[in-house]
Amino acid sequence: MSHDAEHPPLVRGGHPEPPPISSRSWWKDPDEPPGLWDNPKNVDRLLYAFYAALVILVAMDAVIHRHIYHPWEALFGFHAWYGFAACWILVVIAKQMRNVLMRGEDYYDVD
Amino acid sequence: MWIDAPPFLLLFIGGLLAGVTRGVVRKAILLVVPVLGGLNLIGMQEGVHLTWDVAGYTLTVFEVDRMSLLFGYLFHLATFIGNMFALHLGEEDRASMQHSAAMLYAGSALGAVFAGDLIVLFVFWEMLALTSVFLIWARGTERSYRAGFRYLIIHVLSGVLLLSATLMRAHETGSIDIDQIGLNGSFYAWIFLLSFGIKAAFPLLHNWLTDAYPEGTATGTVFLSAFTTKVAVYSLARTFAGEDLLIYIGAAMTAFPIFYAVIENDLRRVLGYSMINQIGFMVCGIGIGSAMSINGAVAHAFNDVIFKGLLFMSMGAVLHQTGRINGSDLGGLYKSMPFTTGACIVGASSISAFPLFSGFVSKSMVMSAAIYEGHEVVWLVLLFAAAGVFHHAGIKIPFFAFYGHDSGIRTTEAPKNMLIAMGIAMVLNVVIGTFPQQTLYLILPFDAPYSPYDATHVLTQTQLLFFGALAFVGLQKTGIYPPELRSTNIDVEWSYRKLGPWVVNGVGSAALAIDGYVRSSVMALVHGVLAAVNRAHGQVGPLARSWPAGSMVFWVALSLAAYLLFYLYR
């Protein structure tokens, strides 16, 4: 993640502090041992397994004879690249929408 | 079958009892009543069960067929799971109000799907709004109070439209039956569509959902997500099946909310947008109108209640335990709430339609129907939306709540009853997803055999989802993925929460200015006239030289003279 998760940019009108946590929760002990996913090696292992699954899934396109209902489906790995492109475009457009649509979270609370 | 009571009656009685009892007795009522209601439906004969003669008309209060029965089972199941999830509520949570409202709300939903005519449907339609709003108000905040009022106004309006359309149709055709209406060129058909469209959250009419649901209580929103929109889907399936317009409305519903979902910070509002996306698949299925697509639409409604309920439950558990629900304020909760994390992931897998999870066996019916019936562009839109829903609901919700950046918040798992409720929904999602032929497909309304598990479906869907996930990984690693920000995104509600007040205030001040100008002009005119009269009739005026009686005699004489002249020279 390139953005600084500790200090996300503040939207004008946004509250600098999040709401207080409930009485059923508390802040972590500084001496707490790291969790499973705090270790970057574990994240990498998960990602390698994930990438391997991707390769297998595309390779299966060559093995399994798919039914073709739409002409585009005849393309090799159609659903793979369509899914990838759909999500990428979705996020890029949504991010641009923020320039027009985003206001402070108290936008409707003030006149 | 053993009672043959109208389904809404049992839950209404349960709802009233839940309002006046406490402790173990109330808990027993909350769990036993939906079970009794569900058993009551088993083996129920199709046909009219109860009519009511009022003022010379016969209203069909309770009528059963396969489609209403499916929704009947579903609503009892949702009530049981929801009541289980809310079982821990104490008086500080306004428990009496919440339990009572939830059961009366569920009863209204049952009344609506078993209604035999449009008048009865209208009554329960309005009761849905009047009972459910208390699940929003019970939150007790200023925001929830205002959001509840907006919700209530919009839903009462939907009911008024339904009644108007019903009366217009009755006047033209003499029928109040709930049967195929379609866009038949009549005006009332459009009013029906508008009324149903408000409740089904059609594009531009959708904003009440994303406005109100996130303001509900942690437990109340689970009920809200189950009933209102599903009653609308049921009504559309009854009256507008095969209406082409619905295909395009449905496709639009699947696509546009996911953009909002990506940039929304409140995770329950993200689920609200994703709910509109899922209803889009149902509306599209209804519009296609084949036996398979309508089966797909109602099957997806069934599954959506369970997996969206599960997602709302997992977020409700997070809200209950931490007091927070914004993506920007959460993260790392897998360390404290592993079971809830698992529940959320099962819900996410189901809504994303992974093979072996419930969404797969119903969404694929709608998508297959779209391509079989030749709606190729619509199919591509649905495919886009199917990838997108995995992105925002399947990955974003679990990632920002339970993984991502560790917020440092530590807590415990939610109360046991909440975990049990989530557990039941998890099991249902997997069982329905894995064994659809032995479960959900048995109760579908139409005979249209469908097999979701062939190599093509499984492979293509898995490819779509895994490569969608790859896009998420890539966007995170390159820093393109937009961070969660404490913010509000402008949607249609802007028109009635900002523009409307501005216009009203603007018109008000303009009216005040015009009013002031007109008043002063008129006053000046009156003063002028008075001054003129004073000049003529005043103490020194030429017409005031005689006393008023004399003046009157003078004028009478003058008019008589004029009359005489007219008479003589006519």
Helix extents (H) in A1-111? 40-63, 78-101
Residue B275 structural domain: 241-491
pLDDT value of residue A8: 59
The Cα of A47 is separated from the nearest Cα of chain B by a number of Å equal to 9
* CA B29 – CA B106 distance, rounded (Å): 14
Distance CA B357, CA B434 (A): 6
Q: Inter-chain contact A81–B467, Cβ cutoff 8 Å?
A: yes
pLDDT of residue A3: 43
One domain, residues B265 and B229? no
Q: Which residue do the tokens 């979705």 mark? A: A90
Residue A37 sits in which domain range?
31-65
Question: Strand, helix or coil at B54?
Answer: strand
B461: which chain A residues are within 8 Å (Cβ-Cβ)?
79
Query: Would A86 be classed as within a structural domain?
Result: yes
Q: What is the mean pLDDT of chain A?
A: 84
Six-digit token string for A59? 């390779």
Q: Is A48 at the interface with chain B, CB within 8 A?
A: no
A107 touches chain B (CB under 8 A): yes
Instruction: Say which of A64, A66, A87 has its CB closest to residue B471.
Output: A87
Query: What is the secondary structure of B271-313 as a DSSP string?
Result: HHHHHHHHHHHHHHHHHH--HHHHHHHHHHHHHHHHHHHHHHH
Q: Which of B491, B524, B541 is the last residue of a domain?
A: B491
Q: What is the mean pLDDT of each run of 10 residues along chain B (570 residues)?
A: 79 95 95 94 87 87 94 97 95 93 97 95 96 95 93 96 95 92 93 96 95 95 96 96 96 95 94 96 96 96 97 96 93 94 96 95 94 93 94 91 91 96 97 95 93 91 94 92 86 87 87 89 88 73 61 74 70
Q: What is the largest CA-CA distance in chain B?
A: 113
Q: Which of B406, B456, B491 sits opposite A67 (nearest CB)?
A: B456
CB B41 within 8 A of CB B270: no
Radius of gyration (Cα) for chain A, nearest Å?
22
| Residue A59 and residue A75 in one domain | no
- Contact, B149 vs B137, CB < 8 A? no
Q: A45 and chain B: CB distance < 8 Å anywhere? A: no
Under 8 Å CB-to-CB from B253, ≥6 apart: which residues?
B201, B202, B203, B206, B276, B277, B279, B280, B283, B284
The tally of domains found in chain B comes to: 3
Asked whether the beta carbons of residue B485 and residue A69 sit closer than 8 angstroms, the reply is no
Residue B225 is predicted with a pLDDT of: 96
When CB atoms are compared, the residue of A3, A83, A97 closest to B463 is: A83
Q: Which residue carries 């469908």 as its tokens?
A: B450
B166 versus A75: the higher-pLDDT residue is B166
Q: Kindly state whether residues B198 and B309 are assigned to the same domain.
A: no
Segment holding B324, helix H or strand E = none
Give domain status of residue A55, yes or no. yes
Q: To probe the interface with B, which of A24, A38, A63, A79 has the most B CB atoms within 10 Å?
A: A79
Which of B349, B237, B312, B238 is closest to B282 using CA atoms?
B237
- Say if A8 falls within a structural domain: no
Do B547 and B463 fall into the same domain? no
- Structural domain count of chain A: 2
- If one compares A70 and B467, the residue with the highest pLDDT of the two is B467
User: Per the domain annotation, does B539 fall within a domain?
Assistant: yes
Q: Which residues in B lie closer than 8 A to residue A105 (C-beta atoms)? A: 265, 486-488
Query: Considering the domain boundaries, does residue B535 fall inside one?
Result: yes
Q: Do A56 and A85 belong to one domain?
A: no
Using CA atoms of A14, A15, A17, A20 in order, give the dihedral in degrees to the nearest 10: -120
DSSP three-state, residue B498: helix
Q: For residue B459, what pLDDT is reported?
A: 93
- Best of A91, A93, A97, A98 to mutate (most B CBs within 10 Å, chain B): A91
Query: Is A90 within the bounds of a domain?
Result: yes
- Residue B442 has what pLDDT? 92
Q: Are B63 and B144 in a shared domain?
A: yes
Q: What is the pLDDT at residue A2?
A: 39
Within-domain flag for A25: no
Q: Are A91 and B475 in contact (CB under 8 A)?
A: yes
Question: How many other C-beta atoms can be found within 10 angstroms of the C-beta atom of residue B300?
Answer: 26
SS3 B362: helix
Q: Are residues B222 and B269 in the same domain?
A: no
Is A15 a member of any domain?
no
Question: Within a domain: residue A51?
Answer: yes
Residues in chain B closer than 8 A to A55 (CB atoms): none
Long-range pairs of B179-187 with CB within 8 A, sequence gap ≥ 24: B179/B238, B179/B239, B180/B238, B180/B239, B180/B240, B180/B241, B181/B239, B181/B240, B182/B239, B182/B240, B182/B242, B182/B243, B183/B240, B183/B243, B183/B245
| CA-based nearest distance A95→chain B, Å | 6
Are the beta carbons of A2 and B478 separated by less than 8 Å?
yes
Distance CA B147, CA A90 (A): 29
Asked whether residue B486 falls in the same domain as residue B516, the answer is: no
Type of residue at B239: T
Provide long-range contacts, Cβ within 8 A and 24+ apart, for B434-437: B434/B356, B436/B361
**Domain stop point among B239, B258, B286:** B239
Question: Across the interface, do B324 and A21 touch by the CB < 8 Å criterion?
Answer: yes
Last residue of a domain, one of B193, B213, B239: B239
